[in-house]
Structure 1
C-alpha cells in the first residue's frame, strides 16, 4: 500500500526524495524530440522548433477598413449634412481586384473592405455617411486624410519575428503563420507515450462488473493527460498481473515509444507486477516526499536492444494524475520543445484551514474563485476520491514545512484549465 490513506498517516520522511529533485530526474529521462516540418492543419498544440519571420508586411498593401468610397480628402473637406458633396463614381474596387485604376481629383471609387487603395486616394468614406450611389455618390460628412485605412505593414513588418521558438501553436498563431505565407511550420515531434494499464481486476467500461472487478480508468485518464499536454498516447489496456505477460505486451512497441508510462503495481504488496517486472530491467523505485503519490519509479526499460525511458506512477487515481502533473507533464512539454512546461501558478487566499503532513509536499484539489482571488478545496484528501479531482480546476501546493495552513493564508495554486 502507498501512503495515500489520509493526512494523518505518518512516514519516516528522512529517506524520501525531495519533489524538485525527483522532478528534475524525470525531466532528464526524456531527450528532445526531432524537428520536422508539418502542414499548418497538423500543427495545433505543437511547439515551434524555430523562429518564424515575416517575408511580407501585414497588411501587404494599403487597403480600406470600411465598405464605402475611396476619395481625396480635399474633395470632401467641406461636406456636412447641410452642404453635402456629390462626386462621380468612376470605378468599383471589390476585395481581391488586382488592377486598380488611379483616383482622379474630383471623383470617387466605390471600394469594399480589404480592397487595395487606388493610387491618389487619401481616405475612405464609410457607406453610412453617403447615399450609397453607384454612378454618383453624395457624401454627408467630411473625412480627414488617412481615415478608415489600413496601412501596409502597420501590423507586421518585413523580417519581423512573428512567432518564437518554443511557442505552443494555437489557433491565432496558426492564423498568423498562414497570413505571412507559411503552408507548413518547423515543429518538434510530439513525444510518443505508451500508457500501460495493468491489473487482472480491471475490465473495460461498459461491460458488466463481476465481484472483485473494477472499471479501468487510469489508462484512459493518463492517455488523455498526455494528449492534453501535446503528446501522442497509445493506450495498452488489461495487461494481467504476470511478469512474462507484461514483457510480452511491451515488446512490439519499443521501437516507436519515447516513454513508457504505467500506473499501479509499484508499492510493497505481494502482487506488484510493474515493480517485479521492471526492477531488474533498469528501473529504480523510490519514495518521494509528496502526498498523494509517494511510491514512484523511473529509469530505462532495456530489452531487445532498446532502451526506453519509463515512469511508473502509483495506482490510486488521484495519486496517479497528481504525479503526472507534478513530474511527467513538465518532462513531456520540455521534450516536445514547449517554452512553457508547467501549469500557470498563482498566489491566492485560502478560505479554510488545512492540515498537511510534515516533511511532504501536499497537493490538494481546489476550486479557484477569480473574483475573490481565493481557493477552496474540492473533495477530501484521500487519493481514491476521483470525483473531487474531476470537479477541481486547480491544485493547491502546500510546502513540506507546513503542518497546518490557516484560513486567510496565501497559498500557491496550479491552474489546471490553462496551458
Structure 2
C-alpha cells in the first residue's frame, strides 16, 4: 500500500490506536477491514452479529420524526480508514506497521492481514477494535405507502430535499477513503426475519411483478406481506465529507431498480458482492490525511419495494427485519493513462510552464491544468487537450487575480492518454 515516497518512518496520529506491530519484514501484505454497520453488541466481544433493523412506518408524521432522529444519529456515521503499511526500520531487524480504526469513526472494526494478494494466506485476525464511541444502529424503514421524507440540503438550511417514492428507506450513510491508495469495497449482506414477531417475508425479486400479463415471461405482482430489499452504493459527488451535504446527496439519490451486476439482495443467507464500489485515493501528505478527491467518498443505502396492501395480513408497526452488513477493503487496480505535453506557445515570447494534477489519471477523473509564468500581455490563454487517436478539445483557462501570470483550467480524463498544449495569445 502506497505512502508518499519521502516518508521514512511511521507518521504520528493523534489519539491513534496501534493494533498491529510487525517485528519482521512483511512483503506484499493485503489488508482487509470489516466495519460492522450499527453498534448493538450482544455481549460477545469477538462477535460480528451487528444489524440494522427496519421498521414499518404507516403515517407521514411518524415517518418524518423517525427519519429526523435517524439523520441526527447518522451525522457522524461515515466510515474512515487509516493505515500505514510501508514498514521502515532503524536497526534493519524490527519493522512496524499500524492500522487504525479512525478516531472519527462511530463503528467497531476488526481487521485481517493476508500474506498474499489472493487473500488466502491469513496471518493475523484482530478482535473488535472500537473507535471510542458508536451509535446504536443504522435506521431503515419499511414505507409501504411511499410517504415523502424531507432532509435539509445543507447544515442549518431551511430548504429541504425530498425523498420521494421509496418504500424501503435507510438513513444517509457514506464510506470515506482517507488513505493514499485506491480501494475496492466489497460487502457481505445477511438478512433476518423473526417469525415469532412478524409474518412478513424477504422477497428474492421485486414484489411489483415483471412483464405484461399474457407474455411468456410474465410474473404477477406479489400479494403477501413481503419486501424486496437490496444494498446499493455509488460514488458521491461531494468531496468535503460534510455530513449534511452527504445527507442531502443521499436524499436526492433517485430510486433505481435492482441491478444484478451492482446490487446485493438482502436475504436470509449471506450474499457477498465483490467490488461493490471503488474508492479513489485521498490526498495524503507524509501519512496525514489532507482532503478527499473526486471518488474518495461512496454513498450506500438499503432500498427496494414492498407490497403496499398485503391481501391476507396488513402491515403493522411491529413488522421488522434485520440486516447485517460487513464491508471489506482491498487495494483496487485502476487503469491510469499518461498525460504529456506538446509545444506551448506565447504571443509575447514568454512560454509558460505547464503542469497537470494528477500527473496520470483514470477515465472520468478531473484533471487540473496550471500554466505559470504567463506574460501579462497574454490575456487570452487556452489549453488544447488531444486524446491519442481522438479529436482535440479546448479548455478555457482562468486567470489567477492575485498573480495575473497564473492560469488554471480543468478537463475530464478520457479512457486513454492525452497531450496538452497551452496557447497564450494577446
Q: Quick check: TM above 0.5? A: no
TM range (shorter): under 0.3
Please identify which structure carries the higher helix content: 1
Highest Rg: 1 or 2?
Answer: 1
